[in-house]
Structure 1
Amino acid sequence: MDHFPTNWGRPRNDAFDAYATFPIHQRPSNGPKDAFSQGVQRTQQPIVTGTSVLAIKFKDGIMMAADNLASYGSLARFKDVQRLQPVGEYTVIGAGGDMSDFQYIQSLLDDLVVEEFTNQDGHGLGPKEIHEYLSQVMYGRRTKINPLWNSILVGGVKDGQRFLAYVDLLGTTYSASTLATGYGAYIAQPLLRRAVEGREDTLTQEEATKIIEDCMRVLFYRDARSLNKYQIATITASGASISDSKALETSWGFAEGIRGYGAQTQ
């Protein structure tokens, strides 16, 4: 077998110099300037990530929560990251997954909101339009085999209508009265469904806050990539607001009775 890549066959030298065969001064003027600028790279996996986002419908609107941690692998690296982002007047999005991809999505949405505002046509983007836009962006990137490594919840209230929906890196979308991403989709979603489903039109804001806080506490106990600092977004007909970071009240006394964690060995 010939182990020299330059002899394996490649495009014409006058169009492409894949292996830097020629000195720089002899390369075609329309070709790449060095061997490292050739080819396209794709993100193979997320690096700095956020975990669960929770969202529910209540009587007056939508409530959403996410903690402030961005993990570098298993290292709790960044502890003041805001994963809830207002978009326009009526909508809040919450993202789990890769934080750099989320920052890119935020820049796309900022440009979209500015463009809509400059049209001066009296219309503003609502949560349905934001969700539709994100679904197209995520699916478009998926079809290019270059996905944005995020799962996103979109919630808002416009014209008296509550809206809550999900979109992920494959462009998968669905809507429900309770939603969760990340590990919360496994251990918080059942709690949310039991507490909320059938009560969406009677649940008060105070009751919704209590449900969200209880689920965030469970996630802190059970999810190794979560944090006890979190924020809550509330979207009603009067607008969207995101709280300052809150600290969960937790107790680890129960761990003394768990084999492998406390003193108990039998």
Structure 2
Amino acid sequence: MNHLPQAWGRPRDDVYGAYDHAYLQNGPKQHTQSPAVTGTSVLALKFKDGVVIAADNLASYGSLARFTDVKRLRKFADTTVVGFGGDVSDMQYLDRLLNSLDIEEAYGGSSHTLNAQNLHTYLSKVMYKRRSEFNPLWNQLLVAGLDGEGKPFLASADLLGTTFSSPSLATGFGAHLAQPLLRKVAFDEEAAAKLTVEEAVEAIKESMKVLFYRDARSLDKYSIAVVTKDGIDLKQDEKLEKQSWAFADQIRGYGTQIN
């Protein structure tokens, strides 16, 4: 046996020949059963001229807040932002897929590019195909931007290929904690069409603050994008304002009370 530390337990190459790794290539096909590194909520809200979308910059390793600078919003052309919730490695795969699609569209013979509605249809088909192969991409996506007519567009697609559209959408815990707040300002399409960009951004920021306080897998650093006919205004290192845990010592009813 070869007793050198770098090869403990292996037969000596000079006696038995080089170690054959070929058998390692013939193992069973393996698929992700439970994501290890994940991002939490993505929030989005329509307003009269476009869509606001936001996601924090945290990627958690199980319960550990491991990576604090992961950007989960991706621009596509000048019309669309895709927000990713769920597995970060699958998000990176989809990001490469979208980059190659963007290059293909840019260098194609046509002068047209995919709008948000086209891109959502494409992504939903990708998710459904992977689900049908029993190898799903463990993500829920929000696609925000403008459709072919220049109108605000917002829709989701999940790991089953299920699609849904609404004036306000949220993934993860945001679907429980943020949606009630967003629906106060835009319950239906008619109400969303009356919102200004300032009101929409303020509603999203307030919802991000609630998620920071209530969702254990969230962070006070986040990315936010505003999509309008004038283009995409993407800010990736925003920080929650006026957030403080100072109110905690005023809470009564849990733990030891000293007065």
Report what 2:243 is aligned to. Answer: 250
In 2 relative to 1, CA 141–24 (structure 1 residues): closer, same or farther, beyond 3 Å?
Answer: farther
Q: Retained in 2: the 8 A contact 1:255–1:261?
A: no
Q: Retained in 2: the 8 A contact 1:54–1:65?
A: yes
Report what 2:94 is aligned to. Answer: 105
Identity %: 53
Partner SS, residue 192 of structure 2: coil
Distance, in Å, in 2 between the alignment partners of 1:104 and 1:33 is 27
- Displacement, 1:199? 2.1
What is the CA RMSD across the aligned residues, in angstroms? Answer: 2.2
Which piece of structure 1 moves more, 254-263 or 38-47? 254-263
- Displacement, 1:160? 2.0
Report what 2:177 is aligned to. Answer: 187
- Displacement, 1:38? 1.8
Q: Alignment partner for residue 57 of structure 2, among 48, 56, 68?
A: 68
Letter of the 1:223 partner, please give it. D
- Displacement, 1:264? 2.6
Report what 1:172 is aligned to. Answer: 162
- Displacement, 1:36? 5.8
Distance, in Å, in 2 between the alignment partners of 1:74 and 1:35 is 32
- Displacement, 1:37? 3.0
Aligned residues: 239
Distance, in Å, in 1 between the alignment partners of 2:176 and 2:103 is 37
Where does the alignment leave 5 or more consecutive residues of structure 2 unmatched?
1-15
In 2 relative to 1, CA 171–24 (structure 1 residues): closer, same or farther, beyond 3 Å?
Answer: farther
Letter of the 1:64 partner, please give it. I
Deviation readout 1:173-199 (Å, 9 max, x if unpaired):
010000000000011111111121242
Q: Retained in 1: the 8 A contact 2:56–2:222?
A: yes
Distance, in Å, in 1 between the alignment partners of 2:142 and 2:107 is 26
Report what 2:117 is aligned to. Answer: 128
Report what 2:73 is aligned to. Answer: 84
**Alignment TM-score, normalising by the size of structure 1:** 0.84
Where does the alignment leave 5 or more consecutive residues of structure 1 unmatched?
1-22
Distance, in Å, in 1 between the alignment partners of 2:255 and 2:212 is 18
Partner SS, residue 94 of structure 1: strand
